[in-house]
């Protein structure tokens, strides 16, 4: 591997990490953000592993790479990366990046709120950053059109165990499962990861995943294990995505997809706010459906998700040619 010197800013949203690449990355080639995504996958994937994997990162690391936007109204554009590759959307990242874009002067600071238009591989996402006394704070973002694919789909797991699942899109496609149907507890992470593998495989066999506008989005990104809290207007969400990566936040794009599902089922009306909580970290996002729309010929909604991103540090990552672990590794 060539000598490297890559500067990053680290943040987290609800405990879920975000490593923002600041400098030292090669030029990313492509006319569109999806062409840029394809380019880094084909030509620069060793740098994803360099930054996301051990010894500089870990199995559940997440990153954001700034690229030139190709949408005229966008203030900034980012590619996302994790242990498996390059996802199309990331809500927790958008929340952190909203603050970052204002704090870095990419967008001019304005009180009481600054709008930041971020181009993601799934489309343009508008973020709104609370600004007071010279400081940035809570960020809310408005999703790309979110829609439902399937409800009450019965799938067969091992040992003749049949469960009911829903499938919805919120920037990526998710399968939703009531955790009580699995006889598992949120603390049983290994059990949930095994269930995730089975569920994704079963759904992929039964359902053709298709986005109306973009075939590069046609895959199940994650499985979300949910639970409605009794006597509370709160939903627990634990998301396992990519290559069995465990989300520390309630999952921003997963919350978006869940709100589309709740609206489709008549369980939430426009502007009705819901609280989503990660059952392990207890971090929370607030969300509501703010509008109805279309995605191709599908009925869809625009969802708002709010949370807080925080800075955790700055680093310069280097390489030494004699280091045989220089390129990165994972212990699974």
Report the number of distinct structural domains present in the chain: 2
In a domain, 329, yes or no: no
In a domain, 331, yes or no: no
Catalogue the E-assigned strands of the chain.
Answer: 5-13, 16-23, 63-67, 76-81, 113-120, 123-132, 135-142, 147-157, 161-169, 173-178, 220-228, 234-241, 245-246, 274-277, 284-295, 298-307, 309-318
Tens digit of each residue's pLDDT (9 = 90 or more) over 135-162? 999 999 999 999 999 999 999 888 778 9
User: Is the same domain home to 32 and 178?
Assistant: no
Q: Is 150 helix (H, G, I), strand (E, B) or coil?
A: strand
The answer on pLDDT for 1 being more than 70 is no
User: Is the same domain home to 118 and 40?
Assistant: yes
Gap between the Cα atoms of 141 and 123, Å rounded? 13
Gap between the Cα atoms of 225 and 91, Å rounded? 17
| Confidence class for position 163, pLDDT limits 50, 70, 90 | very high
Tens digit of each residue's pLDDT (9 = 90 or more) over 72-95? 999 999 999 999 999 999 999 999
Q: Is 41 helix (H, G, I), strand (E, B) or coil?
A: helix
The answer on pLDDT for 2 being more than 70 is no
C-alpha 9: how far from its chain's center? 18
User: Is the same domain home to 131 and 178?
Assistant: no
- Mean pLDDT over 294-308 rounds to 96
pLDDT at 3 (0 to 100): 79
In a domain, 328, yes or no: no
Gap between the Cα atoms of 16 and 12, Å rounded? 5
Phi, psi of 10 (to 5 degrees): -100, 135
User: Which domain does 170 fall in, by range?
Assistant: 147-304
The answer on pLDDT for 299 being more than 70 is yes
From residue 65, give the alpha-carbon distance in Å to each of 9, 40, 78, 93, 181.
Answer: 11, 10, 5, 11, 38
How deeply is 120 buried, as exposed, middle or buried, from its count of CB atoms within 10 A (0-12, 13-18, 19+)? buried
Tens digit of each residue's pLDDT (9 = 90 or more) over 226-263? 999 987 889 999 999 999 999 999 999 999 999 999 99
Catalytic residues: 90
In a domain, 134, yes or no: yes
Q: Is 186 helix (H, G, I), strand (E, B) or coil?
A: coil
- Mean pLDDT over 27-31 rounds to 97
**Count of alpha carbons within 13 angstroms of residue 153, beta-carbon side:** 23
In a domain, 261, yes or no: yes
User: Is the same domain home to 129 and 157?
Assistant: no
User: Is the same domain home to 157 and 294?
Assistant: yes
In a domain, 326, yes or no: no
- Mean pLDDT over 310-317 rounds to 98
Q: 179 CB contacts (<8 Å, ≥6 apart)?
A: 185, 186, 192, 225, 226, 227, 236, 238
pLDDT at 233 (0 to 100): 86
Asked if residue 112 has a cis previous peptide bond (ω within 30° of 0), the answer is: yes
User: Is the same domain home to 130 and 13?
Assistant: yes
User: Is the same domain home to 135 and 189?
Assistant: no
User: Is the same domain home to 231 and 273?
Assistant: yes
Is the separation of the CB atoms in 249 and 278 below 8 Å? yes
User: Is the same domain home to 213 and 83?
Assistant: no
- Which two structure tokens, joined as six digits, stand for 67? 């690229």
Tens digit of each residue's pLDDT (9 = 90 or more) over 35-75? 999 999 999 999 999 999 999 999 999 999 999 999 999 99
pLDDT at 332 (0 to 100): 76
**Residue bearing the bigger pLDDT, 157 or 105:** 105
146 forms beta bridges with 301
- Mean pLDDT over 93-98 rounds to 98
Question: Which CATH number does the domain housing residue 173 bear?
Answer: 3.10.310.10
From residue 199, give the alpha-carbon distance in Å to each of 17, 131, 209, 239.
Answer: 26, 42, 14, 13
User: Is the same domain home to 78 and 193?
Assistant: no
User: Is the same domain home to 216 and 257?
Assistant: yes
- Which two structure tokens, joined as six digits, stand for 7? 């500067």
63 forms beta bridges with 19, 81
Q: 172 CB contacts (<8 Å, ≥6 apart)?
A: 87, 88, 89, 122, 217, 221, 222, 241, 253, 257
User: Is the same domain home to 196 and 218?
Assistant: yes
In a domain, 321, yes or no: no
In a domain, 240, yes or no: yes
């Amino acid at each position: 591997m060539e000598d490297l010197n890559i500067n990053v800013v680290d943040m987290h949203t609800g405990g879920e990490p975000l490593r923002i690449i600041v400098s030292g990355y090669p030029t990313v080639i492509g006319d569109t953000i999806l062409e840029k995504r394809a380019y880094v996958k084909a030509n620069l994937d060793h740098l994803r592993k360099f930054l996301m994997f051990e010894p500089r990162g870990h199995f559940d690391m997440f990153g954001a790479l700034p690229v030139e936007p190709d949408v005229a109204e966008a203030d900034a554009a980012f590619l996302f990366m994790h242990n498996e590759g390059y996802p199309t959307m990331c809500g927790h990242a958008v929340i952190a990046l909203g603050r970052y874009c204002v704090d870095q002067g990419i967008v001019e600071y304005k009180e009481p709120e600054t709008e930041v238009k971020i181009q993601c591989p799934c489309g343009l996402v508008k973020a709104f950053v609370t600004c007071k006394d010279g400081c940035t704070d809570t960020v809310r973002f408005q999703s790309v059109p979110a829609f439902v694919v399937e409800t009450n789909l019965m799938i067969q797991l091992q040992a003749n165990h049949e469960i009911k699942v829903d499938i919805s899109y919120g920037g990526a496609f998710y399968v939703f499962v009531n955790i009580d149907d699995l006889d598992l507890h949120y603390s049983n992470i290994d059990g949930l990861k095994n269930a995730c593998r089975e569920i994704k495989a079963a759904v992929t066999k039964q359902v053709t995943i298709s986005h109306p506008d973009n075939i590069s989005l046609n895959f199940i990104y994650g499985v979300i294990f949910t639970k409605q809290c009794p006597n509370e207007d709160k939903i627990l969400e634990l998301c396992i995505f990519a290559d069995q990566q465990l989300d520390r936040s309630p999952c921003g794009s997963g919350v978006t997809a869940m709100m589309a599902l709740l609206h489709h089922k008549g369980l939430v009306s426009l502007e009705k706010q819901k609280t989503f909580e990660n059952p392990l970290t207890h971090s929370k996002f607030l969300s509501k459906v703010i509008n109805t729309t279309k995605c191709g010929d599908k009925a869809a909604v625009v969802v708002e998700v709010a949370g807080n991103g925080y800075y955790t540090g700055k680093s310069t990552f280097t390489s030494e040619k004699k280091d045989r672990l220089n390129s990165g590794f994972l212990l699974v």
